[in-house]
């Protein structure tokens, strides 16, 4: 299996619902390093998994729309407890949409999986992986 990973980051504000989150129930900020990995069993005719520039731009567009935002006020996240895991899923789903739209310079059927990892710190991160 081949893979290609691109990286970006986002700075957000949010609050989490539930007593388990203690002080994080209050509005607070977080900065995430965001990795998006595309997996393919074979390379395309050009020797690529996806076009690295297009994948980088797609990820930048997605996380850029969330950066410097209070996620509690984002209509697309209404009703979502924006844990690191749920945010990884949100970004991954949007990357899958971009892949299916042909924005990544490859045929969607050649990609076996997309995995998004949000690094909350140097010691904690969460991922979500899905088929496109």
Interval 48-107: pLDDT, tens: 999 999 999 999 999 999 999 999 999 999 999 999 999 999 999 999 999 999 999 888
In the prediction, which pLDDT does 106 show? 87
Neighbour tally for 123: CB within 10 Å: 6
Taking alpha carbons only, the member of 16, 64, 39 closest to residue 116 is: 39
- Nearest-5° angle of CA 28, CA 34, CA 130? 115
Mean pLDDT for 29-40 is 98
């Amino acid at each position: 299996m081949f893979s290609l990973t691109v990286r970006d980051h986002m700075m957000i504000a949010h609050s989490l619902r539930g007593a388990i989150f203690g002080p994080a129930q209050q509005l607070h900020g977080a900065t995430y390093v965001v990795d998006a990995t595309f997996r393919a069993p074979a390379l395309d005719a050009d020797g690529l998994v996806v076009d690295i520039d297009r994948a980088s731009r797609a990820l930048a567009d997605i996380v850029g729309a969330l950066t410097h935002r209070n996620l509690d006020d984002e209509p697309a996240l209404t009703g979502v407890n924006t844990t690191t895991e749920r945010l990884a899923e949100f970004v991954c789903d949007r990357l899958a949409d971009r892949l299916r739209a042909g924005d990544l310079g490859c045929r969607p059927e050649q990609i076996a999986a997309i995995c998004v990892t949000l690094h909350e710190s140097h010691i904690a991160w969460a991922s979500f992986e899905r088929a496109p």
